[in-house]
Structure 1
Amino acid sequence: MIWIVLAIMIVATIILNSPTIKGMIGEKSVTNQLNKLNKEKYIILNDVTIPSSSGKTTQLDHVVISTYGIFVIETKNYRGWIVGDEKSEYWTQVIYKRKERLYNPLRQNYGHVMALKGLLSEYSELPFIPIVCFSFRADLKVKVSSEVIYTSKLVKTIKKYNQEAISASDVKQIAATIGNANITNKDIKKQHVKSIKLDISNKRNKISNDECPKCGGSLVLRNGKFGQFKGCSNYPKCRFVYNSK
């Protein structure tokens, strides 16, 4: 009986530590926070997949539409120190002495905003407010001016934007446009995940072959303040850098 219990605990630990499950937990936590907003003032859309300008699709964790603006929310459920700045392509997750890289979520969310702008191009000068939410498991050490916050601060952050900029009728139309464009087909969503993984794999292959994944130039070894790194030979036209540490 003890062995059965231990086996169940091990399997449960593996499942709970999987990136997919951790992501779902993080998104559910944000959804619970968003449900505290006044439904008469805010329209909440969760897990939205829409076409992007590249002809592919992009998945948005949460979109909140209101007369105060369109809030585009990216959720992260990482633990440990999260270190990074506004312009870096990658941030660093530090757990004790182990370091892992993660794609800058501000850049990721910028892509989401651009996809929404393309979808809502008939509207001029819509105010978009990108927000990146980290769970309490993280210890944020980032140097940014953008909204990078803990999930517990989400509602407060949204409410601080209180200047009306969109009419109530447009809010409903915008929500309907996004809702109608939302791709719910599971096969297409699976293809979206495969596409992301393929892009990451192609990028890694190019870097390993000393090819810049951004412009196709050559990557050369350079010395920087924090050690050696690979940078694009087409600098300053291309500012791609890669640090394997």
Structure 2
Amino acid sequence: MELIILLVVIAFILRLPKVKGILGEKSVALFLSKLDPKEYRVFHDLYIPTAKGKTTQIDHLIISRYGIFVIETKNYKGWIFGSEKNKYWTQVIYQRKERFYNPIHQNYGHIKVVQDYLQLEDSDVFHSMIAFSMRATLKKIEVHDTRTIVTYIPRISKMISKHQKQLLSHFQANQFVEKLEQLKRSDRNERKKHVQTVKKTLSEEKKKVRENVCPKCDGNLVNRKGKYDVFKGCSNFPNCRYVTKKTS
């Protein structure tokens, strides 16, 4: 009986979004460890300061002669549809559809922060990688930018190894590695500040939602009926497309 209870507790813990995210990032780290350490310097879970005095969290970042690879991991399941031009992508699980922010746009923001931090003028040295877990099925993903890769986590090291055009000198690559190493040494305080900022932002957003105020534009939140459920959406739609999770 105790074993059954333990297994139920473990199964519950593994279903938590935060735990899923951690497991997804750990699996990426495992596959990236297959890269030649002489050619690729891999960083995990970086907190990089922005020009606005905040920090941006980067899942994985790789410095090499073949460019700088910035990787965003998505531990989603179900069918995934999206285009590099769309603001939102769609996740389909059975008949239920959920929207999530375009991860290519999200990672573009990460790349800009890294570019500013490294004081790099040339953005062509960056490769954007979106890595989904094998729980997802990439059904229709439209990407035309050759520096953007949408793939599955087990394939990331192979996709990185395909890039053989030298974009950085050894000297440049070593400079960037040293700058990121310095960041890692002072990362503990940045991590703490980042977590505090995220918690504060989420708290403020929840407070506004409780008061039926849109966190994005301060418009009114109203109940709307979708195809599968009821949700709260901004009254300023379509100029503002903020929505909350279902309310009934």
- Give the structure-2-normalised TM-score: 0.79
Partner of 2:121: 124
- The amino acid of 1:196's aligned partner reads V
Q: Taking every aligned residue pair, what percent have the same amino acid on both sides?
A: 41
1:101, distance to aligned residue in structure 2 (A): 3.7
How many Å apart are 1:40 and its aligned residue?
Answer: 1.3
> RMSD of the alignment, in Å?
3.3
Going from structure 1 to structure 2, the CA distance change for 1:161 and 1:92 (only over 3 Å counts) comes to same
Where does residue 56 of structure 2 map in the other structure? 58
Deviations 1:196-233 (A, max 9, x none): 344345456667878665566788999xxxxxx96786
Change (3 A) 1:203 1:110: farther
Question: For the structure 1 residues 101 and 204, does the alpha-carbon distance in structure 2 shift closer, same or farther, using more than 3 Å as the test?
Answer: farther
Please identify, of 176-185 and 32-41, the stretch whose mean Cα deviation from structure 2 is larger.
Answer: 176-185
Cα distance change on mapping 1:196 and 1:85 into 2, 3 Å = farther
Q: Deviations over 1:139-189 (max 9, x none)?
A: 12343313111112212221222211110011011011112123431x642
Residues 200 and 144 of structure 1, relative CA distance in 2, 3 Å threshold: farther
2:6 equivalent among 8, 11, 21 = 8
The answer for unaligned runs of 5 or more in structure 1 is 223-228
Counterpart in the other structure of 2:168 = 166
Give the one of 37, 40, 44 matched to 1:39.
37
> CA shift at 1:92, angstroms?
3.0
Q: Summarize the Cα distance change of 1:170–1:188 in structure 2 as closer, same or farther, 3 Å threshold.
A: closer
Once the two structures are overlaid, the 10-residue window that deviates more, 86-95 or 104-113, is: 86-95
Write the distance in 2 (CA, Å) between the matches of 1:197 and 1:87: 30
Q: Deviations over 1:77-113 (max 9, x none)?
A: 1111223332444333322233444332222212211
Q: Which residue of 2 aligns with 1:71?
A: 69
Residues 1:87 and 1:215: Cα distance change in structure 2 (over 3 Å):
farther
Between the aligned partners of 2:8 and 2:233, the Cα distance in structure 1 is 40
Q: Is the alpha carbon distance of 1:91 and 1:206 closer, same or farther for their aligned partners in structure 2, counting shifts above 3 Å?
A: farther
Say whether residues 1:184 and 2:187 are aligned partners: yes
Q: Which runs of 5+ in 2 are unaligned?
A: 225-231
SS at match of 1:241: coil
Q: Which moved more, 1:151-160 or 1:112-121?
A: 151-160
Where in structure 2 are the equivalents of 1:1-245 lying within 5 Å? 3-121=1-119, 123-126=120-123, 127-145=125-143, 146-182=148-184, 183-185=186-188, 188-200=190-202, 202-203=204-205, 213-214=215-216, 240-242=240-242
Task: Name the CA distance, whole Å, in 1 between partners of 2:203 and 2:138.
Answer: 28
Asked whether the 8 Å contact 1:217–1:234 carries over to 2, the reply is no
User: Would you say the 8 A contact 1:73–1:130 is kept in 2?
Assistant: yes
